[in-house]
């Protein structure tokens, strides 16, 4: 369902509908309808296809958005909110979510970058927390573990980051709100 309503999909469908309407109008000799619909339909269709070819869908949410709304609004840090917003929206022209952040942290591989698979909001000892499940791909686990202390500070002041082993090739990164 998520892929059906991406901006690229909407523009592709809209452009194709306008192009078909314009073509039918042209074939039935209705120039008032055919010229504008073909004139706008084809570029919109091509723009939608261009977006579809470079889109990166949002990360799958484990926790429904409404479930932790109260905790998020009352105690989430600015860094946590930015992180959440960044991974749950459509991205275009990128290989992975948080691409620039992972590059800055030297946790990036151009050929096979790490991919964020899921995000979960939860309460950790009464504090707001985010858990990202990351498929490591070509970035070694040791490099992530070496930067564990820096991860939290990178995404927000006082933010605590914890790594949890998820088996071969994956790990969880938990971003926990600092103690008050």
pLDDT digits (tens, 9 = 90+) for 47-93: 999 999 999 999 999 988 888 888 888 888 888 999 999 999 999 98
Q: Is 50 exposed, middle or buried (0-12, 13-18, 19+ CB in 10 A)?
A: middle
Q: Is the dihedral of CA 95, 148, 63, 168 positive or negative?
A: positive
pLDDT recorded at residue 116: 93
Please give the Cα distance from 71 to 75 (Å, whole number). Answer: 6
Cβ–Cβ < 8 Å for 134, 151: no
- Give the per-residue pLDDT at 2: 55
Q: What confidence score (pLDDT) does residue 104 get?
A: 92
Q: Considering the entire predicted model, what is its pTM?
A: 0.80
> Which CATH topology does 56-176 take?
3.30.980
Cα–Cα distance for residue pair 71/127, rounded to 1 Å: 8
Nearest to 99 by CA among 134, 146, 145: 134
The H-assigned helical ranges of 66-176 are 69-75, 78-87, 99-104, 141-146, 148-155
The ranges assigned to domains in the chain are 3-53, 56-176
pLDDT, residue 1, reads 47
Q: What is the DSSP letter of 5?
A: G
Instruction: Mark the ranges of the chain whose per-residue pLDDT is less than 70.
Output: 1-4, 180
Q: What is the DSSP string of 55-91?
A: EEPPPEESS-TTTTHHHHHHH--HHHHHHHHHHTS-E
Cα distances from 122 to residues 56, 63, 71, 128, 151, in angstroms, run 25, 8, 9, 6, 19
pLDDT value for 4:
57
């Amino acid at each position: 369902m998520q892929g059906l309503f991406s901006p690229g999909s909407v523009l592709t469908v809209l452009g194709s509908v306008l192009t078909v309407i314009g073509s039918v109008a042209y074939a039935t000799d209705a120039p008032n309808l055919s010229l504008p619909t073909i004139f706008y339909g084809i570029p919109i269709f091509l723009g939608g296809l261009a977006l579809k070819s470079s889109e990166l869908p949002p990360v799958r949410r484990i926790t429904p958005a409404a479930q932790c709304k109260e905790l998020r609004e009352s105690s989430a840090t600015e860094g946590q909110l930015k992180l959440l917003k960044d991974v749950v929206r459509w991205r275009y022209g990128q290989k992975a979510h948080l691409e620039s952040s992972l590059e800055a942290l030297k946790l990036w591989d151009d050929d096979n970058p790490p991919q964020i698979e899921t995000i979960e909001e939860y309460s950790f000892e009464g504090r707001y927390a985010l858990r990202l499940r990351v498929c490591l791909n070509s970035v070694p686990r040791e490099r992530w573990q070496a930067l564990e202390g820096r991860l939290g500070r990178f995404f927000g002041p006082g933010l605590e980051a914890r790594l949890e082993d998820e088996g071969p090739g994956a790990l969880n990164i938990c971003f926990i709100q600092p103690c008050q």
